Amino acid sequence: GGGGPCHSRIWSLLNHGPPFTLLVQLGPVVKALALILGDDFALGSFSANDIGPGCPRGPAHVDYPYSTLSRFPNDVVACQAIYCLDSWSQANGGTQVELHSQKTRLHPDREDALETVVEGKPGDVIIYHSLLHHRSGGNVTGEHRIGLLGQFLAKYVRPMEDQATGVKESVRRGGGEGG
């Protein structure tokens, strides 16, 4: 969510090879996602998200693929994993959520319900259901708040980024950054 000159996103991080290719394969992250999505899941996208100084809060939303649907499947089809590169707090725009809102199986209709701030330290990984109502908080500090966002999907869901053909051949072979 969010946008404008104070918010930036960098897509297709896997094309830069390690450490990005290694982060999406971290054992504890993969194990946690398998408990939620089942053993047969796929990476849908891996991007960096920068909420700059003075950036206002973003709009309440749910993530892909739920954002494109009017009715939701019973099974969990998508999770997000936030890899904190900086400390996340209310002051610097940490993600604001409405706890347990994924259980309503509805799109968000209230901005005032997102009262819980997701806090984290550099190196923390935060995993949540993509149907959880959330938004980026406003950053009232003079520092950037940066996180890496991994989108993980049930294998049958079309990914936002084409991991099969959109990742450089040298990276797919394990050789790191390609030319």
pLDDT digits (tens, 9 = 90+) for 84-118: 999 999 999 999 999 999 999 999 999 999 999 99
CB 135 within 8 A of CB 94: no
Share of the chain above pLDDT 90, in %: 85
pLDDT > 80? residue 52: yes
Distance CA 158, CA 42 (A): 10
pLDDT attached to residue 3: 53
Arithmetic mean of pLDDT over the chain = 92
pLDDT category at 178 given cuts 50, 70, 90 is very low
Distance CA 141, CA 169 (A): 40
CB 168 within 8 A of CB 68: no
CA angle 81, 111, 51 (to 5 degrees): 45
Q: Which residues of 92-125 are buried (b: 16+ CB within 10 A; e: fewer)?
A: bbbbbbbeebbeeeebbeeeeebeeebebeeeeb
pLDDT attached to residue 77: 97
